[in-house]
Chains A and B, each alone.
Chain A
Amino acid sequence: MSEYKTVFGGLNDFTPGGVDAIDDNPKNYVFSNVFDVASRSAPYERVAVGKNLEYVMEVLRAEGQSPWYACAHDEFALCMDGEVEIHLVKPEDADGLVDPDSEGAVVLDEAPDGRKMGRIVLRRGHQALLPGGAAYRFEAGAPSVILTQTIQGPATVERWAEICQSESRPAA
């Protein structure tokens, strides 16, 4: 057995650090915790935890079945806790579902018609490609956590004041 223990944290097991401001505003660091955000989210809300101009990282609490999403460009999903199944479909009319020049994921009203592309099951630390032009759906038997790499879109939720640290907090 290893003499070192690697700490990954999880939905029910996280101990955030914090910003100890010496001469600064702690809000400048937009400090949050993925598991804290997921623990306070509704299933499959796409809550932005990082934003750099148009690009975002979103946290999703995966629980039960998600709606179908489609996106014109590549996205990525990193499972940070639990187990998440991904179903991928190549829509017959991809350009009709999502403007090919658009950015961010779009929620679809119903399962798209198209060819089944495949299925992926992610556990902690696994990262999947959500290929541009595909439609996808997540499924999780128990509450799990996904971090996305994508572009801000209509499904992205911003609630920075609720998720971010605003007071200086010397970490114990």
Chain B
Amino acid sequence: MTEALQTHYKINPASNETGYKSYEAGSFKFTRDEYFVSIVWPKGAHTMAADGFMRAMMRTVAWGFFYGTLSYDPVFGTTNHYGIVDMFAGTYHPVFKENGRDHLEKFKAEDLLELFRDLVDDWTNEGYDPFAAPGEDDAGQPWGRKNGNNADAVTRIRVTANRMVGLPGDAEIRTDANGFPQNRMFADVSSDQPLVEAEPGFEDEVAAFNLYDYLSRSDVTWNPSVCSVVKESLFCPTSEEFILPVEHGNDRCEWFVQLSDEITWEVKDKDTGNPRCRIVMRAGDVACMPADIRHQGYSPKRSMLLVWENASPRIPDMIQSGEAPVIAVQF
């Protein structure tokens, strides 16, 4: 790592006018008003609507920067180097780059996350849930002056099963009783449970659960959660509705299995953002996102998507060196 890590972090007191705090990380400055978020850096500035920004920032925090690049829009985003994270503006936009208006700084991931957690808490008003799709009854509105908080919504823990959901001592299944009713768009999904007959002594290993029921009760959208684990192979199914809040440019191949309904993916070149293809995925469809693209999904009805990741920490270097392919399978 040749570039120095930024160490400047500052939380400024709430504005008298809007009631929102403002934030500084390195030389990036973040402010919000009733409708918009402004991001300023030494060579430029950028404006986003508060709803899209908050949905993207919520995932950034919940996922701990996830895998690879999270582009909030064609200009602003982060890239995870696992421990170190880039924050950039215009770095993956050819016109910003050509004109020298791009800017990138490096941060210790945990320190930047801490600042972003405070930002999400302060900029989320009472009743607004940045994890919800905007059409949900309890989604609330991001607009207006500072008005309360929604700590319960923004501090949800991303589920990560150690072996499989439902095993003794592992991530719990979701039920009405533990506070996870079925989503309105999944009210027709069966809640029947598999028949499991374990012989004495094998109760911890003979196990099954209803994954579709589990997903029908998810209270968040676009939040892949680990449900089963084979070494570094993670099944991360998720419930999707409306738009993936970021363009995701993974640093490895990422597989999708559409378990229910339909998602359309806009796929663009990772470096330039130029369109590459459009993919419609319906129930049963399987596709792999190559490691050199960014993708953003559109789900008109709440749907179930199985995201399948290989979490090996060696992959980004293997792809850089050509040891691992950018395209998962050649045929």
Contacts and interface: CB of A to CB of B under 8 A. Distances in A.
Interface of A: 1-2, 4-9, 14-24, 26-36, 49-53, 55, 57, 73-76, 78, 80, 88, 90, 115-129, 131, 134, 147, 149-151, 160-161, 164, 166, 168, 171
A75 B184 contact: no
Contacts of B280: 17-18, 20, 171
A7 B189 CA distance: 10
A58 to B, nearest CB: 11
B211 A78 contact: yes
Given A33-B286, A50-B286, A149-B228, A24 B276 contact: yes
B308 A122 contact: no
A57 B237 CA distance: 14
A23 B302 CA distance: 29
Contacts of A129: 163-164, 167, 205-208, 228
A35 to B, nearest CB: 4
B253 A52 contact: yes
A151 B229 CA distance: 11
B198 interface: yes
A46 to B, nearest CB: 15
B97 interface: no
Contacts of B14: none
A29 B212 contact: no
28 contacts: A6-B216, A6-B301, A14-B283, A17-B281, A22-B276, A31-B279, A31-B285, A34-B285, A50-B286, A50-B308, A52-B328, A53-B312, A55-B230, A57-B308, A117-B198, A119-B206, A120-B195, A121-B194, A121-B195, A123-B192, A125-B211, A126-B194, A127-B227, A128-B207, A131-B206, A147-B257, A149-B228, A149-B230
Contacts of A128: 194, 207-208
A18 B41 CA distance: 41
